[in-house]
Structure 1
Amino acid sequence: MLKNLEIALNEALQDEYKAGETYRVVIEKFGAVRPFTNIIEAEKRHIRALLPLFRKYQLPIPINPWINKIPVPATLHKACLAGVEAEIENGEMYEKLLALSAGYGDVQQVFRNLQRASQQNHLRAFQRAAGLPINTPPLDPEQAASHGGRGTGGRKGRGFRHGQRSRTTFGHCGTGCR
């Protein structure tokens, strides 16, 4: 049972390491743009939530193998689409890890909290930034290209008129990932 716990904690930590490094390289290339600046801070908190569990169960803490090994997406929009996909995969991963960590209520509580943050906050932020409907499967790259970056909202790419501003724009230029 302890071996399953070690597998589950390692997979969770590796995923958080990878996400943090991914968002770091996006910020390095495109600047301090949201939602990446907010979510990278959340990833740091996720790592801090997992580390005490390694200590409690006397498991070795793996190093971050992702540093300087993540390719940078070509555009900010592609980075947001990748963020959507990563957060969907993150939710699925935590479902699997919850089963692996059966019998460890404290670990399962942390996993549930991290899964909830991913699905309710990070996924939605990336979907908004990418111009996707909230809580829907992401577009594959061909579908995204056919949208021409116009988004899928009710304005159908016409934007806002008469001085209206979206409450969901991101970034220093107000364009987010589009």
Structure 2
Amino acid sequence: MEFPSNPQKEVPAFDSVVLACEAAEQAEIYNVAIYDRLFSQVDNQDIIMIFEALRYASQEKHLPAFQRCSGLR
């Protein structure tokens, strides 16, 4: 299985909480897309269940929280 590269080698600094939340929102969208791609590369049902749980958390919990935070303008 090929793992995606991690272009984020350092943690960025942000000028405001809203900007940090906007970046986190995009990161969660990216995470969901990663899990969508990984599903087709894995046959092990235990790993698929973990990916499903992580994808759900990104899509249904983390993303909405960061969207609320980034809307604080």
The answer to whether structure 1 residue 126 and structure 2 residue 44 are counterparts is no
Q: How far apart are the structure 2 equivalents of 1:71 and 1:120? A: 25
The answer to whether structure 1 residue 86 and structure 2 residue 18 are counterparts is no
Structure 1: state its 5+ residue gaps: 19-65, 133-148, 150-178
1:116 to 52, 56, 62: 56
2:45 to 99, 105, 126: 105
Within-5 A mapping of 1:32-51:
none
The amino acid of 2:15's aligned partner reads: A
Structure 2: state its 5+ residue gaps: none
How many correspondences in the alignment?
A: 71
Q: Deviations over 1:83-128 (max 9, x none)?
A: 1111011101100011111x21111110000000000000000011
Runs (4+) off by over 3 Å: none
Q: Deviations over 1:115-149 (max 9, x none)?
A: 000000000000111118xxxxxxxxxxxxxxxx2
Scaled by the length of structure 2, the TM-score of the pair is 0.85
Root-mean-square deviation (CA, aligned residues, Å) is: 1.8
Q: How far apart are the structure 2 equivalents of 1:112 and 1:119? A: 10
| Higher RCO by CA contacts (8 Å cutoff, separation 6 or greater) | 2
Within-5 A mapping of 1:24-173:
66=9, 69-101=10-42, 103-131=43-71, 149=73
